[in-house]
A = this chain, B = another copy of it.
Amino acid sequence: MFVGKIIGTVVATRKDPKLEGRKLLIVRPLDENMKGKKDYLVAVDTVSAGFHEQVLVVQGSSARMAFGMKDCPVDSAIIGIVDSFVIEDKTGAGQ
């Protein structure tokens, strides 16, 4: 999993029937200093996440294990609102 920030929304009127009523959010992955990476992905929301919130994202087939997503054509799901993300050892990177 990784931590990301919700930065926008995607609307698709014509779509797979199993996506009806799903909220599709644009998530920017965050690095370990909680700064945004230059990328995005579209994830389905399963925890009523709000704009700008830091969220936990699961990818791959496990996204279908998120609440209410069984057999849905989704490869990324928001499964938690991050309250704290604490790295106690920052000395390790690149050393």
Contact = CB atoms under 8 A, between A and B. Distances in A.
Given A58-B75, A62-B63, A93-B38, A8 B88 contact: yes
A30 B38 CA distance: 13
Main secondary structure of the interface of A (DSSP, over half): mixed
Contacts of A36: 92-95
A35 B2 CA distance: 21
Interface residues of A, number: 69
Integer count of this chain's copies in the complex: 5
- Among A51, A52, A63, A75, max chain B CB count under 10 A is at A75
Contact of A7 (B35, B62, B84, B87): B87
Given A9-B86, A11-B86, 18 more contacts: A1-B74, A2-B42, A3-B10, A5-B89, A8-B88, A10-B56, A11-B83, A12-B80, A26-B85, A26-B87, A32-B40, A38-B93, A51-B89, A60-B62, A60-B75, A62-B63, A63-B75, A73-B77
